[in-house]
């Protein structure tokens, strides 16, 4: 089968590419840069920008299945930037799929599309989309997800949206490196009392979910037009897990704490200052981040298990073992 992975040089996308190659698929990758690992895998690479509709259209020629992972994440930035990539870029993919006769589209969404600031405890896909977003990433991902699901069945295209929660693992260039850097600099603080539970997705398991969903995605399939939470079966205490990561890195546990109210107040002030002064980078704390670090948000995956047989391929202990060398490397930098 001819498959296309958008963002196939990125963190999750590259793991999807590797698993597709192992499965014997003929893989094409649409990405912005050059990646040595893609050359090692001997896959076709098409360079382009997801915001370029013509480039996306060409990339989808002769393709049967598209895995759309290309996106920009983060808690800070301009609306136009997030919208042009996450929402308009996805609309470009949808249009290209329909014009080129693609039959299956697996879209990488996010649980943040339903995050409303309240605790989510063993939540299911019955949760509605949030009516208010504290940053542009979840808002633009929600708009994209709605478009993807609405397109199911149009012009022979079957679609599904997966919502992996807190993807982590080797080669992560966002979450884990920032965590280690903040710990090394003494700027890491526990927000809240540390009793909040979260779901997380080891990256190889998140990638496997995409292949598992695609295998059950076809015309009139119960998977078509649906969104699914993807994460490990059991939640973890976030600050206990963070301290485990720090221990594997050879760093001391988090010692400093800050209350939820103080973190939210500081986040609000920093957002205002960064916005008014047009400061570079992103605030070290925002209201969204304070909420994410202090509240419980974990999700029921029984629907994904039932509908397309979602099954993690790496357990938690093995995932931590695979992560240890990278943690030590990051701590030594």
Residues catalogued as catalytic: 137
- Return d(Cα 245, Cα 172) in angstroms, integer: 14
Query: How confident is the model over 280-333, as pLDDT tens digits?
Result: 888 888 888 888 888 999 999 999 999 999 999 999 999 999 999 999 999 998
Nearest to 71 by CA among 54, 55, 49, 53: 49
Residue 41's SS3 state is helix
| Residue 154 pLDDT | 93
Question: Nearest-CA neighbor of 156 among 226, 74, 100?
Answer: 100
Cα(97)–Cα(201) distance, rounded to whole angstroms? 28
pLDDT at 330: 93
Q: CB of 288 within 8 A of CB of 209?
A: no
DSSP string, 251-308: -PPP--EE-HHHHHHHHHHHHHHHHHHT-SS--S--HHHHHHHHS-EEE--HHHHHHH
Strand 236-237 with 197-198, pairing: antiparallel
Q: Is 288 left (phi over 0), alpha (psi -120 to 50) or beta?
A: alpha
Residue with tokens 């897990």: 241
pLDDT of 21 reads 98
- The predicted model scores a pTM of 0.94
The single-letter DSSP state of residue 191 is: E
Residues of the chain whose pLDDT is less than 50?
Answer: none
pLDDT value of position 116: 86
Q: Where in the chain does DSSP place strands (E)?
A: 2-6, 26-31, 44-47, 65-68, 104-108, 120-123, 158-164, 167-168, 190-191, 197-198, 201-202, 226-230, 236-237, 257-258, 297-299
Q: Give the Cβ contact number of residue 250 at 10 Å.
A: 11
pLDDT of residue 291: 86
How many CB atoms within 10 Å of residue 76?
19
**Inter-residue long-range contacts of 112-117, CB under 8 Å, 24+ positions, other chains counted:** 112/137, 112/138, 112/141, 113/138, 113/141, 113/142, 113/145, 113/163, 115/292, 115/297, 117/291, 117/295
What's the pLDDT score for residue 276? 87
Domains and CATH numbers, the chain: 2-172+200-233+298-313 (3.40.50.720)
**Per-residue pLDDT, 174:** 87
**Distance, CA of 132 to chain centre:** 20
């Amino acid at each position: 089968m001819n498959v296309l992975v958008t963002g196939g040089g990125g963190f999750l996308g590259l793991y999807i590419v590797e698993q597709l190659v192992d499965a014997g698929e003929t893989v094409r990758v649409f990405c912005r840069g050059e990646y040595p690992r893609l050359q090692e895998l001997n896959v076709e690479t098409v360079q382009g920008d997801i915001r370029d509709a013509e480039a996306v259209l060409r990339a989808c020629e002769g393709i049967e299945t598209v895995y759309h992972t290309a996106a920009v994440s983060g808690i800070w930035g301009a609306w136009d930037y997030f919208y042009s990539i996450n929402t308009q870029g996805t609309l470009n993919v949808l249009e290209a799929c329909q014009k080129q006769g693609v039959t299956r589209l697996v879209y990488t969404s996010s649980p943040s599309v339903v995050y409303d600031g309240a605790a989510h405890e063993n939540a299911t896909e019955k949760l509605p989309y949030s009516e208010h977003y504290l940053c542009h990433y979840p808002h633009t991902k929600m708009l994209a997800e709605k478009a993807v699901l609405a397109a199911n069945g149009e012009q022979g295209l079957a679609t599904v949206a997966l919502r992996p929660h807190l993807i982590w693992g080797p080669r992560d260039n966002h979450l884990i490196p920032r965590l280690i850097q903040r710990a090394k600099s003494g700027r890491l603080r526990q927000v809240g009392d540390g009793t909040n539970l979260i779901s997380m997705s080891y990256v190889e398991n998140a990638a496997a979910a995409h292949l598992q969903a695609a295998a059950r995605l076809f015309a009139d399939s119960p998977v078509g037009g649906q969104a699914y939470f993807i994460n490990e079966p059991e939640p973890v205490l976030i600050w206990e897990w963070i301290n485990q990561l720090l221990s594997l890195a050879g760093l001391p546990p988090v010692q400093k704490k800050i209350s939820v109210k103080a973190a939210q107040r500081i986040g609000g002030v920093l957002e205002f200052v960064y916005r008014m002064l047009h400061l570079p980078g992103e605030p070290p704390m925002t209201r969204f981040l304070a909420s994410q670090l202090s509240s419980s948000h974990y999700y029921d995956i029984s629907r994904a298990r039932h509908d397309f047989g979602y099954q993690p391929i790496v357990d938690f202990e093995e995932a931590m073992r695979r992560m240890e060398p990278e943690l030590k490397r990051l701590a030594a930098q």
